[in-house]
A and B are shown apart, each in its own frame.
Chain A
């Protein structure tokens, strides 16, 4: 009896283990690689100008000029809104990855965002049911030992990174995550957006395992946020919100 119970328990455990067997194990705490050096390589990025449509290039140049001059620009973080996709993957603070059956979970330190990446075979909800969120709706599948993540329904409030490149709510992000070795995790993000970009474009993040003992910390923005003081002008008011043209859903 006891043996049968034990065997039953062992085989149940075996089944769980088997189900849990993703082709690669990303679990752990990751930080941006010193080789990458910056959250967003501005030099490389300048060489590879983001493929903005002319009207958005004009808008972005204006934003950058205002940013350089220390004037108000749209930045969700100043309002304690989270970075969202894809900025949440900038690696500027550590992120922790959990691997459990049917999903990969990314927990970020900056604004403590959670990405639930479903790998159980489900697709995105139907267009009229999908919820638009800051991190978007993510489903993943494995191609060999590369995790391919498909993300849609990202709110237009988020910007790509500290370069403040915009995206619309029609943006589509495809990420490819691959464990180069046990301590290096390569992660590319391909961005498509029929509203803002002329073609798909890709940025690469290289993550390395965080030092032993380093982990994701609590980050509650509302604790002590003291937004800028500005002299308001009609132009400033425009930057209170993301560009209204970025919101296309009904």
Chain B
């Protein structure tokens, strides 16, 4: 199974689980854009209604910035392979996100790659073939 197929399979599984996120509109995230932020984990909030990852990264001018990355709630993450200690302060990570529209450093997590290469996905992850994962309840993504 290629990585892409695995992703698609994971995503199908997620769709099947009927994930629904609607704690807010998601309108603040730019779903048409994806970017990767590389940095060091400051804090991992394993909380409802959303988990959050605070990542310290360096901007183009060399200044340190904290990125606030929103993730699904623990109840959804555990069912997609996360554990409460999957990510720890001090870990080097690459986070693939839909950035915040207003330009402040933050976004909605799609995928995190850990230092050992392990990848963990969020329920809104977009598959390489352009499909969406777990889009069932994600507001505007229900309808195209």
Closest 6 CB pairs of A and B: A70-B27, A92-B20, A34-B16, A32-B18, A224-B47, A38-B136
A210 to chain B: closest CB distance in Å? Answer: 10
The answer to whether A150 has its CB under 8 Å from any CB of chain B is no
Which of B17, B24, B52 is close to A75, meaning CB atoms less than 8 Å apart?
A: B24
Interface size class of B (residues with CB under 8 A): 20 to 34
Closest A residue to B52 by beta carbon equals: A224
Which of A39, A90, A217, A223 is close to B47, meaning CB atoms less than 8 Å apart?
A: A223
Pull 26 A–B residue pairs with CB atoms less than 8 Å apart, ordered by A.
A31-B17, A36-B18, A37-B18, A38-B136, A42-B142, A68-B143, A70-B25, A70-B26, A70-B101, A71-B27, A72-B25, A75-B22, A75-B25, A77-B49, A90-B137, A161-B20, A162-B138, A163-B142, A214-B79, A217-B75, A221-B23, A223-B48, A223-B49, A224-B45, A228-B27, A229-B28
Closest A residue to B68 by beta carbon equals: A226
Which residues of chain B are within 8 angstroms of A197 by Cβ–Cβ distance?
A: none
Do B25 and A67 have beta carbons less than 8 Å apart?
A: yes
Assembly CA distance A48 to B7 (angstroms): 32
Closest A residue to B143 by beta carbon equals: A42
Assembly CA distance A225 to B50 (angstroms): 7
The answer to whether A73 has its CB under 8 Å from any CB of chain B is yes
The answer to whether A91 has its CB under 8 Å from any CB of chain B is yes
Assembly CA distance A221 to B74 (angstroms): 12
Assembly CA distance A218 to B28 (angstroms): 27
The answer to whether A169 has its CB under 8 Å from any CB of chain B is no
Assembly CA distance A11 to B45 (angstroms): 53
The answer to whether A238 has its CB under 8 Å from any CB of chain B is no
Do B26 and A64 have beta carbons less than 8 Å apart?
A: no
Which of B13, B20, B143 is close to A90, meaning CB atoms less than 8 Å apart?
A: B20
Assembly CA distance A93 to B74 (angstroms): 11
Which residues of chain B are within 8 angstroms of A9 by Cβ–Cβ distance?
A: none
Known contacts being A221-B48, A225-B49, is A39 close to B137, with CB within 8 Å?
A: yes
Assembly CA distance A80 to B48 (angstroms): 10
Which residues of chain A are within 8 angstroms of B138 by Cβ–Cβ distance?
A: 162
Which residues of chain B are within 8 angstroms of A64 by Cβ–Cβ distance?
A: 143
Interface residues of B in 19-44 (CB under 8 A from A): 19-20, 22-28
Interface size class of A (residues with CB under 8 A): 35 or more
Q: How many A-B residue pairs have CB under 8 A?
A: 117
Which of B25, B26, B75, B78 is close to A219, meaning CB atoms less than 8 Å apart?
A: B75
Do A73 and B25 have beta carbons less than 8 Å apart?
A: yes
Do A162 and B18 have beta carbons less than 8 Å apart?
A: no
Which of B18, B45, B49, B143 is close to A39, meaning CB atoms less than 8 Å apart?
A: B18
Do A70 and B140 have beta carbons less than 8 Å apart?
A: yes
Do A91 and B18 have beta carbons less than 8 Å apart?
A: yes
- Beta-carbon contacts of A217-243 to B below 8 Å, as 1s and 0s? 111110111111100000000000000
Assembly CA distance A75 to B25 (angstroms): 9
Which of A40, A75, A77 is close to B142, meaning CB atoms less than 8 Å apart?
A: A40
Which of A67, A161, A220, A229 is close to B140, meaning CB atoms less than 8 Å apart?
A: A67
Assembly CA distance A118 to B134 (angstroms): 35
Closest A residue to B27 by beta carbon equals: A70
B116 to chain A: closest CB distance in Å? Answer: 26
Which residues of chain B are within 8 angstroms of A218 by Cβ–Cβ distance?
A: 48
